[in-house]
Amino acid sequence: MLRVSEIFASIQGETSFVGLPFAFVRLTGCNLRCRYCDTTYAYDDGEEIPLEEVVSRVTFFGIPRVTVTGGEPLLQEKTPALVTALLDLDHTVLVETNGTVPLSRLDPRAIKIMDVKCPASGEAGKTAWENFAHLKPHDEVKFVLSSEEDYRFALEVIRKYGTEGPFKVLFSPAFGLLPPERLAGWMVGDTVDARFQLQIHKLVWGPDRRGV
pLDDT at 164: 66
Element (H, E) at 86: helix 79-88
Count the neighbouring beta carbons within 10 Å of the beta carbon of residue 110: 23
Cis preceding linkage at 29, omega within 30: no
Domain range 2-205, CATH class: alpha beta
Residues found in the chain: 212
With a CB cutoff of 8 Å and minimum separation 6, the contacts of 2 are 27, 48, 49, 50, 51, 54, 76, 78, 79, 82
Nearest Cα neighbor of 18 from 172, 157, 127 is 172
Rounded mean pLDDT for each run of 10 residues along the chain, 212 residues in total: 97 94 97 92 94 98 98 97 98 97 96 97 94 95 97 96 84 93 97 91 73 68
3-class DSSP state of 133:
helix
Element (H, E) at 21: strand 21-27
By CB neighbour count within 10 A (0-12 exposed, 13-18 middle, 19+ buried), where does 107 fall? middle
- pTM of this prediction? 0.93
pLDDT at 210: 74
